[in-house]
Amino acid sequence: MTTLLVTHPACLDHLPPAGHPERPDRLRAINQALEAERFQLLVREQAPAATLDLIALCHPVDYVEEIRAANPKEGIIRLDADTAMSPGTFEAVLRAIGGAAMATDEVMTGKVHNAFCPMRPPGHHAETMRPMGFCFFNTAAIIARHAQKKHGAERVAVVDFDVHHGNGTQDIFWSDPTVMYCSTHQMPLYPGTGAPSERGRHNNIVNAPLRAGDGGDEFRAAFETVILPRATAFSPDFLVISAGFDAHMRDPLANLNLLEPDFAWATQKLMEVADMSAKGRIVSVLEGGYDLQALAGSAAAHVTALMRG
């Protein structure tokens, strides 16, 4: 399996307020873990900056311009209680989205089998016209649309195992029968969405919430009984993973008890889905994960699974 790793140092320049969990050290921890000898066969590329037209696949141009104009020349500004911008934020956003789109191009054209994009800020809470939950634009949703528009994908599945529900991705695809959004997440927890009854206009939304204290057994059961059957039946041409690692037992922002092997297992299962209908084509984008040790180990397990094929 040829696995592409896409990064860019500009993603370290998105600086949060002091004490904020979504901090540059998250990427440093992942990058250090992926320098180990077993990852030397990764194809490594630096992310280009996204065009505003690319972002506009999911977000109105006026909203994109509003976020760009808000980017401060100095200091830090808050867009809400959780979501802040520093002078380096907008370029970090452009690199995160541009890198994921480049990864999509290389996967969809067969240059590599799959890709992981450890970039920040994350994206899955960003709704069509609303930044929230550390997120400005929805990277996973944008590359799903990009695969459809540029590469002719007819059906895209986005599978999200972040501990927080991806309300933004659900919002963007609520009425779109060509995209299926599947999520496991702790509930109740921020942002408060993600009940099984939230199914989308075309039954294209699949939520499998977990309860505080649940661990690998409950997570795997949710995958095997809900997520995997629905994703398989959807028969996607392309699969996007919203790879949040904050369901790990060490994570400070939630109360699930997953371990590194659980993330590796989920990755392998999603690769099996992609093998059946999508020629194995997967792009994984980083979402949450706020304990540095757990994040580094979980991301390494995820990438190891992608490389094994």
Q: Which sequence positions are flagged as catalytic?
A: 125
**DSSP secondary structure string for all residues of the chain:** --EEEEE-GGGG--PPPTT-SS-THHHHHHHHHTTSGGGTTSEEEEPPPPPHHHHTTTS-HHHHHHHHHH--SSS-EESSSS-EE-TTHHHHHHHHHHHHHHHHHHHHTTSSSEEEE--SS--TT-BTTB-BTTBSS-HHHHHHHHHHHHH--S-EEEEE--SS--HHHHHHHTT-TTEEEEEEEESS-TT----TT---TTS-EEEEEE-TT-BHHHHHHHIIIIIHHHHHHH--SEEEEEE--TTBTT-TT---BB-HHHHHHHHHHHHHHHHHHSTT-EEEEE----SHHHHHHHHHHHHHHHHH-
Structure-token match 């059946």, residue found: 276
Q: What angle do CA 22, 303, 168 make, to 5 degrees?
A: 45
How do 77-78 and 84-85 pair as beta strands? antiparallel
The length of the chain is: 309
End-to-end CA separation in angstroms for the chain = 5
| Nearest by Cα to 153 from 223, 88, 105 | 105
User: How many C-beta atoms surround the C-beta of residue 174 within 10 A?
Assistant: 17
